[in-house]
Structure 1
Amino acid sequence: MANSRAQIGERLILIIGCIFAAAIPFVVVPLALLVALIAYLLKRWRIIQPDAPTIGDMFYRGQVAVTTRVVLLLLFGTLPLMLVKTHAGALSLWFVYNVIVLFLVVLDVIISPRPENLVIERRMPRKLSIGRDNHIEIIITNSSHRPLSLELIDEFPEEFSGDRKNITLELAQRTSRSCSYAVKPLRRGCYFFNRTVVRFRGLLELVVFQQEYGEACRVEVYPDIAAISRFELRMKRGQMAEAGLVTERRRGCGSDFESLREYVKGDEFRRIDWKASARKNKLITREFQSEVNQSVLVVLDCSRSMGAVVDHLTLLDHAVNSALILGYQVMKKGDRIGLLAFSDRPHIFLPPGRGKAHFYSFTRHLYAIAANRVEPDYETVLRAISASRLRRSLLMVITDLTSGEAVNKMLAAVPMVSRKHLTAVISVLDPKLQEIANAVPENVDAVYDKVVARSMIERVAGLSRHIEKIGVATMLITPRQLNSKLLSHYLQVKMRSQL
């Protein structure tokens, strides 16, 4: 279609040129011969490629457009019609002037670098982390013999936040240069980057070249994968104690035998191996390590209330990110990690397992979790866990206890599941709720908001106390505390050999 349009355009230009040549041959014919000679020499000297698109083809494909300067020049060309007294003389000057402008436009297209002289490459990870700045790098190569002033537009998905300003840069001849920008995905899922658009002006600045480069790029937004390495680094630097994370290993804790060593002052007498001490003729102590191959099941609430937005992410996204970090640490310590996502019914169930393949499956399941606009059915889910053949595990139920009357049904099912499994209920609270409850009201609406916020906090605290009386651990925490609190609870359970 584009080729046929280009052919029609070239024929129209040829017909118009013939009319002009018949009207004023002393001007048009020499100019046409000059343009043809310049084009021949440029191809001969390989400044432009012999198989490059024709001028008509480039205009009809939208690769070339005239600038405002051409419009102003054409408007300026109407002056002879007003200044010259004789109509024939004015018309002749107008024809000559416009032919010269047209010649300059064509000349600008011919002598300027073509879009084919540019190579654009976009480098980016295929898996992006939600809620974090992900850097996109674009490499531009100019293979022409002239420097270019470029304007680059890289369209990223609307669901991402980032600076949508056009990137401008100067690029010397036969050089490469890179530029980068950052995007922050706000939702998990699959998205597409459009092709990269580049604009640059001709040498005479009478035309603008525009071309799309590359192909649409598919990316997947996962839970915050980069948080794993950041969390590991913080642990190595010893910064997690400030957040309440128990990271130290207790000597002699656990029930799995590890090794024998010489007795030192402070060791428990019950740890002394008397037979080994008799053989060595000195006191020998047994060393134990925490048990491995234990099961941890993350139970994620995906109901309506978990769709509330805190710090640009939903409560569910915060919970998913924390579950990913917890799963990684559980796998590192030789234990098994599993996942159950539910709302009014179970949606995803991954039995506890270990190994790299299992952790990849765990990550893929977290990637697919989405909030549903329904109330949670705790009773059905907890009863199903209790009735399953799942061996004794640490259940971490991450939910929002402000979700209404549905929470009351949890109270009936929690005792049943806690008989078989070590259970912890973690309620993720919106920090704005506490801010509203503590704020000084300035009007009637603020008073009403404060009363509602306080009643919700008191209700959640009452539910938490009731659950703790059953013998189930509860935590009321903000999204920023999730990572450290989940991992601390897991480590404490291991050190105390509660499983």
Structure 2
Amino acid sequence: MIYPSARSVVLTALGAPAALVIGVMMPQIWYVGLVWVVLLVMLTALDAISAKPPSSLKLELEAPPVTGVGAPFIATVHARFVRKDGSVSPRGAPRGVEIAAALGDRLDPSGSRRAFVPMVGGQAAFDMELTPNRRGPAEIASIWARWQGPLGLAWAQKHDQTQYEIAVTPDISPIYDEGVQLFLRDAAFGLIAQIERGEGNEFEALTEFQTGMDKRAIDWKQSARHLELLAKEYRTERNNHIVFALDAGRTMCEPIDGVPRIDRAITGALLTAYVALKAGDRASLFAFAGRPMLASPTVSGAKGFATIQRAAGAVDYGAEESNYTLALTSLSNQLHRRSLIVVFTDFADPTSAELMLRATGRMLQTHLVLFVIMRDAELADIAQGRPEDPADVSRAVAASALLRERAIVVARLRRMGAHVLEAPHDQIGTRLVDRYVTLKRRSLL
């Protein structure tokens, strides 16, 4: 496609007053006023002919086929002028090209999606930093490139419909970056490397009491019989069942720092599941919104992590309110032994929180329940910020009321016997692993 540039239009418009004056003052030679316009049209046509033709420009997009939600990546558009044999043709190439891209709704650019890129040897490259904001197929639909002729009076444009699709999956980079480190860190304290012996409930053997051991482990009868101080060693339990219950309702699908809460929760759940499977425990995934959405099989061993990962990728975004009663009751009916149930959720109104409390009370009779709640820094900033106008005061009052209601619900959960972890979204994974290890150390699983 070839069309006039802004420079050509402005220069043509500047000739209009001169043509008007000639037509009024010397009507017998009125046609002289059109010379400027005709000259510019001819120069524009000449400029378009002199420019590199659109057919000689080749556009290529380089981007990863798979990426994690919330993980920035670079998509590079390569533009080069080529001959018929495919070799680069720098002769007559413009000084630079303007490149733009059409992005799908699941991709957020960190900068502009259009830029002027200088050409070197007939080639140019435009790097775009993109961040996926939701799981699913993300698309870079089209790429445009345009360049001017030598006089700058005409644009030549190339449009390439790439339809490049990127699969956005749960972000598992923390598993590889932090999972192994957390695993090795806990191993240093004897919680994983010495899994057979440690703090547990199953009696393992008698050993000589040493300084630093728990005095409650002393077996006084056996010590009197053998005339030496003996203590009991216990076997740290393995094969515990960890269930990660993900609330995928409307509230959890709202973004926090640009990424939906449910995706933040999935990342934390996958990190903890990786450590739990490495520690010899079993894990499964359960998702719900208005009704139960997904229940993965229970897996064990490091090889089972792929099953958990695939199940997490299949968790869809819900638009309805979460039904805690139906979801937690269905989950309880599926469990036939005491389990640790990690519930990732958020509550926005007292009614839904009350239903959640009732359903939790029934689960606590059999299972150990841990609620994971993301701290809302934006809501806290609104409540504590200095108001500038009456609207800010109203927002601060509403935010304070929501924070107060959340604190009341958290306190009631703790009084009922449930464990609650409230942390910033970027610390959910590591804090949850720490809490899991603490519960394991205290033999509460």
**TM-score band (shorter)?**
0.7 to 0.9
1:317 maps onto 2:255 in alignment? no
Change in Cα spacing, 1:455 to 1:96, as seen in structure 2 (3 Å) is closer
| Residue 383 of structure 1: how far off its partner (Å) | 2.2
1:82 partner letter: I
- CA distance in 1: counterparts of 2:7 and 2:392, whole angstroms: 58
State the partner residue of 1:140: 79
| Residue 124 of structure 1: how far off its partner (Å) | 1.1
| Residue 337 of structure 1: how far off its partner (Å) | 2.9
TM-score by length of 1: 0.67
- CA distance in 2: counterparts of 1:140 and 1:234, whole angstroms: 42
- CA distance in 1: counterparts of 2:33 and 2:406, whole angstroms: 87
Change in Cα spacing, 1:444 to 1:110, as seen in structure 2 (3 Å) is closer
Change in Cα spacing, 1:448 to 1:105, as seen in structure 2 (3 Å) is closer
Q: Does the 8 A contact of 1:299 with 1:339 survive in 2?
A: yes
- CA distance in 2: counterparts of 1:207 and 1:457, whole angstroms: 59
1:339 maps onto 2:279 in alignment? no
State the partner residue of 1:128: 67
State the partner residue of 2:334: 388
1:428 maps onto 2:366 in alignment? no
Pairwise CA RMSD: 4.4
Q: Does the 8 A contact of 2:2 with 2:156 survive in 1?
A: yes
State the partner residue of 2:84: none
Change in Cα spacing, 1:126 to 1:451, as seen in structure 2 (3 Å) is same
1:179 partner letter: F
Change in Cα spacing, 1:266 to 1:118, as seen in structure 2 (3 Å) is farther
Which of 394, 412, 434 pairs up with 1:488? 434
- CA distance in 2: counterparts of 1:298 and 1:138, whole angstroms: 40
1:65 maps onto 2:65 in alignment? no
- CA distance in 2: counterparts of 1:215 and 1:436, whole angstroms: 43
Q: Does the 8 A contact of 2:299 with 2:307 survive in 1?
A: no
2:360 partner letter: V
| Residue 287 of structure 1: how far off its partner (Å) | 10
5+ long unaligned stretches in structure 2: 82-87, 199-207, 219-231
TM-score by length of 2: 0.74
- CA distance in 1: counterparts of 2:33 and 2:377, whole angstroms: 76
- CA distance in 2: counterparts of 1:456 and 1:109, whole angstroms: 62
Instruction: Kindly provide the CA deviation profile for residues 276-304 of structure 1, in whole angstroms up to 9, marking residues without a partner as x.
Output: xxxxxxxxxx9998655443211112233
Q: After superposition, where does 1:28-39 map in structure 2 within 5 Å?
A: none
Give the secondary structure class of the aligned counterpart of 1:231. helix
Q: After superposition, where does 1:337-376 map in structure 2 within 5 Å?
A: 337-354=283-300, 358-376=304-322
State the partner residue of 2:204: none
- CA distance in 1: counterparts of 2:30 and 2:355, whole angstroms: 92
- CA distance in 2: counterparts of 1:74 and 1:458, whole angstroms: 64
Change in Cα spacing, 1:91 to 1:303, as seen in structure 2 (3 Å) is closer
Q: After superposition, where does 1:12-411 map in structure 2 within 5 Å?
A: 63-71=1-9, 72=11, 76=15, 82=22, 98=38, 104-142=43-81, 143-144=88-89, 145-148=91-94, 149-162=96-109, 163-164=111-112, 166-174=114-122, 176-213=123-160, 215-232=162-179, 247=186, 249-251=188-190, 256=196, 292-354=238-300, 358-411=304-357
Instruction: Kindly provide the CA deviation profile for residues 401-457 of structure 1, in whole angstroms up to 9, marking residues without a partner as x.
Output: 444223323334334433443321223342344445556778877777666555554
Q: Does the 8 A contact of 1:305 with 1:403 survive in 2?
A: no
- CA distance in 2: counterparts of 1:120 and 1:464, whole angstroms: 55
State the partner residue of 2:203: none
| Greater radius of gyration (CA) | 1
Give the secondary structure class of the aligned counterpart of 2:296. strand
Aligned length: 411
5+ long unaligned stretches in structure 1: 1-62, 239-245, 272-285
2:196 partner letter: D
1:488 partner letter: D
Q: Percent identity?
A: 22
| Residue 196 of structure 1: how far off its partner (Å) | 1.0
| Residue 317 of structure 1: how far off its partner (Å) | 3.2
Give the secondary structure class of the aligned counterpart of 1:195. strand
Instruction: Kindly provide the CA deviation profile for residues 180-226 of structure 1, in whole angstroms up to 9, marking residues without a partner as x.
Output: 12122333332321221000112233321100135111123333333
Instruction: Kindly provide the CA deviation profile for residues 4-23 of structure 1, in whole angstroms up to 9, marking residues without a partner as x.
Output: xxxxxxxxxxxxxxxxxxxx
State the partner residue of 1:27: none
Q: Does the 8 A contact of 2:283 with 2:300 survive in 1?
A: yes
Q: Does the 8 A contact of 1:70 with 1:206 survive in 2?
A: yes
- CA distance in 2: counterparts of 1:74 and 1:441, whole angstroms: 51
| Residue 248 of structure 1: how far off its partner (Å) | 5.7
Give the secondary structure class of the aligned counterpart of 2:297. strand
1:486 partner letter: L
Tell me which moved more, 64-73 or 120-129. Answer: 64-73
Q: Does the 8 A contact of 2:113 with 2:128 survive in 1?
A: no
State the partner residue of 1:48: none
Q: Does the 8 A contact of 1:146 with 1:172 survive in 2?
A: no
1:418 maps onto 2:372 in alignment? no
